[in-house]
Amino acid sequence: MPTYHLNVNGSKKKVETEADTPMLYVLRDYLELNGPKFGCGIAQCGSCNILINGRATNSCLLPISSIGNAEITTLEGLLAHKGKLHAVQQAFINEQAAQCGYCLNGMVMTAVGLLNANSNPDEMEIRIAMQGNLCRCGTHARIIRAIKSAVKNL
Amino acid sequence: MKVIPLRSRRKFLKDLGYISVGFTLLGACSGEKDPIISARVDYDGKLPGSMGRAKTVNAWLQILEDGSLRILSGKVELGQGIRTAIQQVAAEELDMDLEKVQVHLAETGVTPNEGYTGASASIQNSAMSVRYAAAAARQELLTLASKQLNTGVDDLLLYNGIVKSIRNKKSLTFGEILEGVQIETEVILPVPIKDYREHRYVGKAIPRRDITDMVRGKANYIQDLRFPGMVHARIVRPMGYTSQLISLDETGLKAEVSGIIKTVIKGSFVGVITEKEHQAVKGEQFLRNHSNWTAPLPFPKSENLYAHIKLIASSPETVKNEGDVARVFEGAETFKATYTKPYIKHASMGPACGIAMFDGEILHVWSHSQGIYPMREALANMLSMDADNIHITAVPGAGCFGHSTADDAAADAALLALEQPNTPVRVQWSRQDEHLWDPYGPAMITELEASLDENNKINSWKTEVWTDSHSTRPNKDAGTVLAARYLENPYEMKSRGYLGGGHRNADPYYSIPNITVNAHYYDGPFRTSSLRSLGSFANIFALESFMDTLAEKAGQNSLEFRINHLEDERAIAVIQKVQALTSSQNTEDGEGIGFAFMRYKNTDAYIAVAAKVSVDKTNGKIGLTRMWAAVDVGEVINMDGLTNQVEGGIIQAASWTLKEQVTFNTTEITSTDWMKYPILKFSEVPEVEVAIINRPTQDAKGAGEVPVPPTAAAIANAIYKACGKRVYDLPITPEKILNA
């Protein structure tokens, strides 16, 4: 089985797995990270989102063989030195923007990806950026509020 | 039989060794100001149903060696925030810091058997049981301390795990008072509970601590559990409900997919166990492509669904019959309407997961089931095991909004674990399995007929409901879990389950002298079970749409018309509140605001909902811009938790109303994923405003299901106001508006 050297959350990780293993399974099953969630496995819901070079991407269909040296960030990797939360993470706590929270990983990662590209999005831009992320509990209104408040605290 | 370890007396005594350290620390803090004793009032009402099977204090709470509190609840956390609500009531009664209260959720042999986490009953049952148990514990601790400190109870302060004499400043920790024994006394009425006016936590917006863990990516869900040596599995589900396995060719599986441990075939139940998770995904695909199944029985034609339901329904049962509806209808002008609601999915964001490990004697199961004790009965029967040899731990899962697939995944894992002893086996369902095998909320038809008297008041009303079962939850009937139906000797599901949910809220809460409610049950083509609010969603959509139609016939404002038929002041108050919330709204051409009211189950929480929509008359396109709700659940436990539930329920129900239906043709269910079963997305979500009327002297009622039913009618009524078109058939789509 091939060996891959990945750059995950700022450190080098060695993973030996099949070339077609999607990053979602690499991160959860091999590297024991909990952030990215299995929601559909067909890139329709956003629960598995991670950042690749700062851009939010579905990880459930992304084979490990396609990653190369890209910088991978998961929810866990958003924590700054000494465990300080990213502004988006803090905003989700402040706004209590979760019910079951299963989609929360994807929501936070997509929001961070948005803010990386556009540090001052308006509500319409937020809604468009979040369009690929599904939430069943109906927490959308709180999530929008959380992202808006994160913008102020970036 | 292996007993699941409870904290034994010896263990507690040993742990007491640590107490002396704590005592010294407390001594060092003795310069702090004493708290003021809160006033108590005697509670002498009914004890919650959950206490019937768990009457003693220690069934609900235990005092740990460090003086902190462990609450035992038979409920499961599924995003509704029950853990926080329970923490609040316990901390309140024992005057503890919230951080000192941990909540242990459902586990067989450890927590009380509270049946299912459902019916919006966790606050009423679990949280209230904890409140009374904590209040009784407080009494017992004071009584014991008064003897040990040789002083009167009046001289004692109880807070944060100690009891202290005001007079001589001597204090004892809970651990010292109890000397290693838990409080085994029964909760007996009257029990003094804290006066609501002195509440520190209850009624406040206490943040949920689990959200802090979630944003850090800490393990929280069953999907995050990892055990040493754990293996992975997927199930190759049949081609349809009634398909049977003809043949399966494993040749080439191991060459194609690495990490294969074994394939388990039991009749038409097929599972593949692998070392790594993605290998199971590939193994399942391989086996699916190399298996033959009998064709399932055909479904009715989709376009004939409601005619088919009427055709197969059994003769109606009379649910209510007051006055003489037929006599009043005779010769009078009556108004009639028929409303329909399709099959709707739970559509949880997290497909089901189950983990099981058989240690040669005990089968350990981890599940996000809503009812681990009833599920244990189903598993015991399916596996021909003694229920005492099955140990189930509930672990949070994604929001599932009723009986979904968690129990089925646990049953899958149990079957595989017995084939692979001493190994934790984790079964993860696929999105397609979740969408196809979910027990849907059943399709329903609600037919209404009413007449008005000379004062434009409704004088006669008839409801006819057609419904399948709204609960086929696991019980001792093994056929209630999916896998059991496909074994070599399959278990048929014997009972049709709970039928009463179908006519929930079919009986109008309004004052009408003559009312008949009939329920027609059908045993339909799809697997069904409880979905948030059961039959109330279809029935309130019908009733509250119809109320607007009747108001128009009566020439009255729709809210005034409702108020004219209500005597209950709490009902009127929520309607007036939502009216006030929307009073400053202006509507332009093509816009409308609609309202709906409900008292859930006609006995529980009150709610009035408003929706503002715009309708493009050229293409029927609907813009749902804002929604409001005024809610009265009696006593509020967590203000923000309640608001969150109501906001979410409204958005979810808006999704059901505007987008959702299970699609199928005669051979298969076709809504297999999120593209074919779309739900509301960010671009379509309305702004939501919730007003809560807190009534701390009234019983606390659950809220989870409450916002769902009136949402559909509020939207339908708003659309009618916006464009004069009324849609009777859910979901309300642009095509239906154009054709109305």
* B675:A44 CB<8 A: yes
Residue B65's pLDDT is what? Answer: 82
Q: Which helix (H) or strand (E) holds B631?
A: strand B622-632
Complex ipTM > 0.95: yes
Q: What is the pLDDT of residues A63-115, one digit of tens each?
A: 999 999 999 999 999 998 788 999 999 999 999 999 999 999 999 999 999 99
Q: Is the peptide bond before B228 cis (omega within 30 degrees of 0)?
A: no
Distance in angstroms (rounded) separating the CA atoms of residues A69 and B228: 30
Out of B180-184, B342-346, B353-357, pick the least confident. Answer: B180-184
Could you give the 3-state DSSP secondary structure of residue B131? helix
- Residues of B within 8 A of A99 (CB-CB) are 79-81, 399, 644-645, 648
Tokens in use for B440? Answer: 């849907």
B88 Cα to chain A: minimum distance (Å): 17
Q: Mean per-residue pLDDT for B427-453?
A: 98
Is there a contact between B129 and B140 (Cβ–Cβ < 8 Å)? Answer: no
Could you give the 3-state DSSP secondary structure of residue B566? coil
Partners of B464 in the beta sheet? B447, B518
Out of B76-85, B145-154, B349-358, pick the least confident. Answer: B76-85
Tokens in use for B394? Answer: 């509930």
Could you give the 3-state DSSP secondary structure of residue B543? helix
Is there a contact between B546 and B337 (Cβ–Cβ < 8 Å)? Answer: yes
Tokens in use for B614? Answer: 């715009």
Nearest to B612 by CA among B632, B582, B642: B582
Nearest to B687 by CA among B735, B642, B628, B615: B628
Q: Report percent pLDDT > 70 for chain B.
A: 96
For an interface test with B, give the residue of A136, A147, A148, A149 to mutate (most B CBs within 10 A). Answer: A136
- Residues of B within 8 A of A142 (CB-CB) are 644, 647
Nearest residue on chain B to A135, alpha-carbon basis: B349
B652 Cα to chain A: minimum distance (Å): 5
Q: Report percent pLDDT > 90 for chain A.
A: 96
Three-state SS string across B181-202, please?
A: CCCCCECCCCEEEECHHHCCCC
- Residues of A within 8 A of B655 (CB-CB) are 138
The C-alpha angle with vertex A51 and arms to A50 and A52, in degrees rounded to 5, equals: 120
Q: What average pLDDT does the structure give for chain B?
A: 93
For an interface test with B, give the residue of A33, A94, A100, A108 to mutate (most B CBs within 10 A). Answer: A100
Distance in angstroms (rounded) separating the CA atoms of residues B656 and B526: 18
Nearest to B673 among A42, A128, A139 (CB): A42
Q: What is the pLDDT of residues B645-655, one digit of tens each?
A: 999 999 999 99
Distance in angstroms (rounded) separating the CA atoms of residues B708 and B15: 48
Nearest to B647 among A37, A89, A138 (CB): A138
pLDDT at residue B4 is higher than 60: no
Distance in angstroms (rounded) separating the CA atoms of residues B692 and B577: 9
The C-alpha angle with vertex B142 and arms to B141 and B146, in degrees rounded to 5, equals: 120
pLDDT at residue B119 is higher than 60: yes
Residue B494's pLDDT is what? Answer: 82
**Residues contacting residue B317 through CB under 8 Å, at least 6 positions apart:** B518, B519, B520, B521
pLDDT at residue B686 is higher than 90: yes
Q: Report percent pLDDT > 70 for chain A.
A: 100
pLDDT at residue B8 is higher than 80: no
Is there a contact between B348 and B398 (Cβ–Cβ < 8 Å)? Answer: yes
pLDDT at residue B115 is higher than 80: yes
Is there a contact between B273 and B425 (Cβ–Cβ < 8 Å)? Answer: yes
Nearest residue on chain A to B678, alpha-carbon basis: A134
For an interface test with A, give the residue of B225, B256, B278, B427 to mutate (most A CBs within 10 A). Answer: B278
* B349:A41 CB<8 A: no
Tokens in use for A41? Answer: 């496995």
pLDDT at residue B589 is higher than 90: yes
Nearest residue on chain A to B216, alpha-carbon basis: A76
B345 Cα to chain A: minimum distance (Å): 11
HSE of B196, CA atoms in CB hemisphere, 13 A:
14
Q: Mean per-residue pLDDT for B714-723?
A: 98
Q: Report percent pLDDT > 90 for chain B.
A: 90
pLDDT at residue B23 is higher than 70: no
Residue B31's pLDDT is what? Answer: 52
What letter represents residue B236's amino acid? V
A69 Cα to chain B: minimum distance (Å): 22
Could you give the 3-state DSSP secondary structure of residue B563? helix
**Residues contacting residue A68 through CB under 8 Å, at least 6 positions apart:** none
* B218:A133 CB<8 A: no
Distance in angstroms (rounded) separating the CA atoms of residues B333 and B147: 76
Distance in angstroms (rounded) separating the CA atoms of residues B29 and B32: 6
Out of B123-132, B404-413, B643-652, pick the least confident. Answer: B123-132
* B431:A92 CB<8 A: no
Q: What average pLDDT does the structure give for chain A?
A: 97
**Residue located via tokens 């609609």:** B594
pLDDT at residue B6 is higher than 70: no
Inter-CA distances, A49 with A54, A97, A100, B169, B711, Å: 11, 17, 17, 57, 31
Could you give the 3-state DSSP secondary structure of residue B441? strand
Model-level pTM? Answer: 0.95
Q: Calculate Rg over the CA atoms of chain B.
A: 28
* B348:A74 CB<8 A: no
Is there a contact between A98 and A104 (Cβ–Cβ < 8 Å)? Answer: yes
Is there a contact between B654 and B686 (Cβ–Cβ < 8 Å)? Answer: yes
pLDDT at residue B694 is higher than 80: yes
Is there a contact between B570 and B632 (Cβ–Cβ < 8 Å)? Answer: yes
B693 Cα to chain A: minimum distance (Å): 21
HSE of B204, CA atoms in CB hemisphere, 13 A:
17
DSSP code, position B71 = E
- Residues of A within 8 A of B673 (CB-CB) are 40, 42, 44
A8 Cα to chain B: minimum distance (Å): 15
- Residue B32 pLDDT level (bands cut at 50, 70, 90): low
- Residue B80 pLDDT level (bands cut at 50, 70, 90): confident
**Phi/psi at B66 (5° precision):** -90, 10
- Residues of A within 8 A of B396 (CB-CB) are 100
Residue B66's pLDDT is what? Answer: 83
Distance in angstroms (rounded) separating the CA atoms of residues B294 and B242: 8
Nearest residue on chain A to B648, alpha-carbon basis: A138
Distance in angstroms (rounded) separating the CA atoms of residues B105 and B94: 20
Q: Is the peptide bond before B731 cis (omega within 30 degrees of 0)?
A: yes
Q: Mean per-residue pLDDT for A13-29?
A: 98
Tokens in use for B454? Answer: 């000379």
For an interface test with A, give the residue of B82, B214, B256 to mutate (most A CBs within 10 A). Answer: B214
* B211:A33 CB<8 A: no
Distance in angstroms (rounded) separating the CA atoms of residues B240 and B204: 49
- Residue B500 pLDDT level (bands cut at 50, 70, 90): confident
